[in-house]
Structure 1
Amino acid sequence: MFEVAKLAESFLVLKSPVNVGVILKGDEAVLIDTGSSPDHAKRIARVLGELAVKKVSIINTHSHADHIGGNSFLQSKYKSRIFATKLESAFIENPVLEPAYLWGALPFKGIDNKFLLAKPSVVTDIIDYGTNEELNVNIIPLPGHSFDMIGILTNLPDKRIFFVADSIVSSQTIQKYKVYFLVDVAQHLKTLDSLKLWVENDVSFIVPSHGEVYNLESDESKEEFLKLVESNKNVVKETLNTIIDYLDVPRTIDDVVSHVAEKFFLSLDATGYVLLLQTLKAYCNYLFENDYAQIIFENRRLEYVRKQ
């Protein structure tokens, strides 16, 4: 089961490896993400049953499988409306797109697992940034980790709670994996800087999708969160420096993957490989776009090399 954290009279967090937000209004609930699997969703449904919830809507912060894994079960059980941005909805409704874009072709056996391939569900409502009066939340763009990831800022009468999805990763994740998944390094760095602004913007709690909840009414917890933002930025900078130092001669993306994996003691299986591959493509793209590296085509292959 979950650890249930009550942050406000009508807001709960179902804490697990993937945190799920619950906004309550009478016998109705709005879920922020649905966890990693149908089993995860069944545990959510048990908690909702204990709360006498009869109607359930879902907001998906983004389309990664560990955030939409419970969509199909819950939509079938509750006839749920699902809210998502237009771009992320394409992946939610067609989950094969996730492993397909990671690999660049239809997925092979080894990346067709629950970590990358959720069951499809139907997005009933496309949402835009800004205030959503029907859901009584603000939709905040948080790009970088996914193509169009959003955060959810509540408009509750007693507390303002900001669910920030995967815009920040825990110190445990940094220690274990070092290089965490990104699609756009520049946007991610901007998102991290934006998170610092919310600390001074009358927000009571910040809830990441993974890890601990931060009570910004506590100076100690606020300081821990700000330190975590800096840790996230520092690991990005360290990864960029590791790559640029390695590009003293032309390197293929697989060369870069092998080097970074060795540098940070990462053991790779098929899933880990495609995640790291796409992440390091994003890093190399950042170096190219910011004029630290160039792309060359020699020996019939694409290579990156540091600009002199």
Structure 2
Amino acid sequence: MGVLLGDGLHTSRQGFGAMAVSGVYGETDAADALATLNHAVDIGVRLIDTANVYGDGQNETLISSLLRTRRDEVVLATKFGIPSEPDEYRARGDAAYVRSSLHESLSRLGTDVIDLYYYHRVDPRVPIEETVGALAELVEAGDIRHIGLSEVTASELRRAHAVHPIAAVQSEWSLWSRDVEASIVPTAASLGVGFVPYSPLGRGFFAGGASGAALPADDLRRKFPRFAPERLARNQALLAAVQSAASALSVQSERPVTPAQLALAWLYAKGRAFRLPVVPIPGTRRASRVDENAAAVCIELDAATVESLDALAARVEGDRSSDLNWISQGREAAE
């Protein structure tokens, strides 16, 4: 069973966030990464999500190896908007950059069309109408099939959607990152735009994969406030609560439910509550984790469990970004 996002884009109920196999959470072997990607497609995960900046383009090159034999099985999503040599604004959205970024990604990916092309971060110097207008021209030319936006505010989404239908919004959304529920989630629902939560497991936190002592020195998570050692130690109480809830559900349902599956099932429940198509894109380096995550689509939570999990976000210590204006949360507050 699949999901219909916005603008007629049909995909699997869960996707795969490929950033995880580009070394951001520690060293990754390319052959192992490709095996994990193939396994995800083997079990029916169709949406494969990458970006031109993941591994400085190496992630797209890796995915080209998957596409070489399985292009028709994949809904391919990639992104542009964060230049490799960013200036003080760190984002770029002018039409010339849109076009050049696309052709560079097409070359690395070894394909002639992108199924879902995201504007990764909003350039404050360029009206979003101009950027989406350039993307609309690429749709017309057949270079991309659908347009996506990442970390946009509700007003930015409305303005963009007035230029061309938007298929999906991608933002961080999880048990401990719920700021998007205030404005952008209900706006997407009202416009018929799908939602693709990235880091749905709290960058691995709710899968039990983050403790201060275990994070490698080059682990990307060290840059995020809630992963600072003292905060992370205190945030372990949230994981303990999810583990307890997963154990209780395991007994109730008479089958094992992991904390990661519970966190993903919560997102599916929130999607139903908002009447919004939701396709989380958990990332992992291991095929066994792909299987574990995919099983969450079959878990339906009762209202009491959802309500108890809802309360966790108020207890988290540390923001989800060191610069809130780099994500929708800060710009929403300023609007």
TM range (shorter): 0.3 to 0.5
With structure 2 as the length reference, what TM-score do the two structures score? 0.32
TM-score by length of 1: 0.34
Bigger RCO of structures 1 and 2 (CA < 8 A, at least 6 apart): 2
Structure 1 or 2: larger helix share?
Answer: 2
The structure where strand makes up a greater share of residues is: 1
